Amino acid sequence: MVENADRPDSSSAEVHILFNGYARDGDTPTISYVASTIGFIRDGNARVIIDPGMVPSTVSILESLAALGEVPTNITDVVFSHHHPDHTLNAALFPNARFHDYWAIYKGDTWESREAEGFHLSPSILLIATPGHTPQDITTLVGTHEGTVAFTHLWWFAEGPAEDPLADDLDALHANRIRVLQVASLIVPGHGAPFTPDETTPR
Ligand SMILES: [Zn+2]
Ligand SMILES: [Zn+2]
């Protein structure tokens, strides 16, 4: 095993957060309020959205994109960290994009099978398989001038929860957290703001 094998080939990408997500209980047991943390990456000609999921209104996504000088038709690629609706619901905002998940690339009526593990979406954007929360979870590793950014649902927020209450496989989750911590200088979690990992970050 080569050390740092998970690093993207290049470090030319630029990373932005379109929306900082959250997850909290509502006033009754059947209601909760949930929004995805949504990322945007530029790398060469690639314009990539990570997890275009639930938000209070699509305006939240579109205004943030517009502030960066982009329109939805510019988006070349969308990555789903996994298949839950809170991370996928607004995918149709991006009509020209290829859609990436753990086992395929989708565009129009074309389903191209491929494993996410080791797939370079662009020179600075590498997908790896990180099951745990669900069997279909992937992490997007992005090379920037400041280091490697990991977009991942291995954490909901900076502080955890240490044991993901919805995890399919906690052993895999903990192993994959360690894998990602070996390379990431910044983590963009599923529902919180980006954070710099340190010794308090749940393993
Ligand atoms: Zn989920
Ligand atoms: Zn989630």
Ligand with smallest separation from the Cα of 21 = 2
151 contacts 76 by C-beta, under 8 angstroms: no
15 contacts 142 by C-beta, under 8 angstroms: yes
How many A from CA of 164 to the centre of ligand 1? 10
Residue 4, pLDDT score: 56
Picking from 42, 1, 15, 47, the residue whose alpha carbon sits closest to that of residue 147 is: 15
Ligand with smallest separation from the Cα of 168 = 1
How many A from CA of 153 to the centre of ligand 1? 7
144 contacts 14 by C-beta, under 8 angstroms: yes
How many A from CA of 76 to the centre of ligand 1? 24
- The model's pTM is 0.96
Q: Indicate the pLDDT class of residue 1, thresholds 50, 70 and 90.
A: very low
Residue identified by tokens 């992937």 is 138
pLDDT per residue as tens digits for the range 95-139: 999 999 999 999 999 999 999 999 999 999 999 999 999 999 999
Average pLDDT, the chain: 96
Residue 119, pLDDT score: 98
